[in-house]
């Protein structure tokens, strides 16, 4: 898709060159590859096709840091955000997933894959969650803004008030993909992570963003809130053919009282809408319906979707042996929700 970069440098981002077009860039192999270092694994894609349709699943295959009788085993996980498997086409989803589940289990057996952790897409994984053959867990509600509707529809009135207030204070929005915009984003994002004392998992270093800039060229944008010529807030949004995904962002400490986040979320939605996107995935809270979720819900009180994760053990015997080996080193609660348990820290 062609993007209309407003208020930015003259050159537009090059069209993303790939054999497949993804509705959400979180579902692409290129996005998953960004997490190889963080997850200490290798990005893989499993394609399955039958008379009932086609499924694609990109994930990270990780070496399990415990050997049994000198043998190495593996597990798989989705990348941060949302993952697959996703249907490419289907005339009978139930039959298709029945065959896919069997084929993927065989693939795991051949490759010594013991278990898998899935982060299902809030919209594209409807059939995947319905026919999942492992343990499905509801994590919490996520907010997805329908961009086909009038922008102010289903929004809390406080959003419009905050946007008007921000504009009256001189805030404006710009959208860029330049190296300069990346540097500004990293500056503000890093400051925000330090201020919030974020865990290592949610902290991404500059090399991650430079790699993202290369792998997802033409499929991201930096939204910036500008005050008196200074960037005071910046969001990074990933752009597929259908969804904009609110990936990461931050605001400078001294401007938190300006309603900047509300202003920039609103302006980002407007930009995505004007560029032909159908949905904007805002996401959920840190835990259930917390303050963060309630903030996001203000942007579309009707756009609430369930977020599920999936847990699947493909080799119970090896899983139990790995767990027993890990128990020799750490105390593991019998009701521990962490998965897989043999990776408990």
Report the alpha-carbon distance of residue 233 to residue 48 in Å, rounded. 42
pLDDT band of residue 183 (cuts 50, 70, 90) is very high
Residues spanned by the domain of 50: 25-133+315-343
Q: Compute the mean pLDDT over every residue in the chain, rounded to the nearest whole number.
A: 91
| Number of domains observed in the structure of the chain | 2
Q: Where are the alpha helices (DSSP H) in 111-238?
A: 126-130, 157-168, 179-195, 206-215
Q: Is 264 part of a structural domain of the chain?
A: yes
pTM equals 0.90
Q: Residue 153: which pLDDT band, with cuts at 50, 70 and 90?
A: very high
Asked, for residue 241, whether it belongs to a domain, the answer is yes
CA distances in angstroms from 298 to 122, 148, 156, 302, 320, listed in the order given: 18, 17, 5, 10, 45
Q: 263-290 pLDDT, tens per residue? A: 999 999 999 999 999 999 999 988 878 8
Of residues 91, 89, 81, the one with CA closest to residue 59 = 81
- In angstroms, the CA 183 to CA 65 distance is 36
Assess if residue 19 is contained within a domain. Answer: no
- Residue 283 counted as domain residue: yes
Beta bridge partners of 312: 116
**Is residue 294 domain-shared with residue 177, that is, in the same domain?**
yes
Percent of the chain with pLDDT over 90: 82
Q: Is residue 20 part of a domain?
A: no
Cis amide prior to 340 (ω within 30 degrees) = yes
* Closest of 60, 88, 95 to residue 74, by C-alpha: 60
In a domain? residue 3: no
Q: Do the domain assignments include residue 163?
A: yes
The CA-CA-CA angle for residues 269, 33, 125, to 5°, reads 55
% of the chain exceeding 70 in pLDDT: 93
């Amino acid at each position: 898709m062609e993007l209309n970069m407003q208020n930015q440098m003259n050159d537009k981002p090059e069209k993303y060159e790939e054999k497949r077009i993804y509705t959400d860039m979180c579902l692409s192999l290129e996005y998953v590859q960004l997490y190889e270092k963080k997850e200490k694994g290798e990005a893989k894609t499993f394609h399955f096709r039958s008379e009932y349709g086609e499924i694609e699943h990109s994930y990270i295959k990780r070496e399990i840091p415990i050997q049994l009788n000198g043998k190495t085993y593996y597990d798989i996980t989705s990348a941060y955000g949302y993952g697959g498997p996703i249907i490419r086409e289907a005339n009978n989803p139930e039959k298709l997933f029945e065959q896919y589940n069997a084929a993927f289990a065989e693939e795991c057996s051949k490759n010594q894959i013991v278990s898998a952790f899935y982060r299902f897409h809030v919209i594209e994984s409807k059939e995947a969650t319905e026919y999942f053959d492992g343990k499905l867990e509801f994590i919490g509600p996520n907010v997805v803004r329908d961009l086909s509707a009038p922008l102010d529809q289903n929004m809390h009135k406080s959003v419009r008030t905050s946007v008007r207030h921000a504009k009256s204070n001189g805030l404006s929005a710009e959208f860029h993909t330049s190296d300069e915009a990346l540097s500004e984003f990293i500056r503000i994002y890093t400051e925000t992570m330090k201020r919030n004392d974020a865990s290592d998992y949610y902290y991404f270093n500059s090399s991650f963003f430079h790699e993202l800039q290369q792998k997802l060229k033409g499929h991201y944008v930096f939204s910036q809130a500008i005050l008196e010529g200074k960037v005071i807030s910046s969001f990074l949004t990933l752009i597929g053919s259908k969804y904009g995904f609110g990936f990461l962002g931050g605001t400078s400490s001294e401007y938190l009282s300006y309603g900047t986040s509300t202003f920039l979320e609103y302006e980002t939605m407007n930009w995505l809408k004007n560029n032909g996107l159908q949905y904007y995935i805002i996401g959920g809270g840190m835990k259930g319906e917390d303050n963060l979720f309630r903030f996001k819900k203000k942007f579309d009180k009707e756009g609430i979707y369930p977020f599920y994760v999936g847990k699947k053990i493909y080799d119970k015997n090896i899983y139990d042996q790995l767990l027993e080996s890990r128990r020799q080193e750490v105390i593991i609660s019998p009701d521990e929700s962490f998965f897989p348990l043999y990776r408990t820290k």
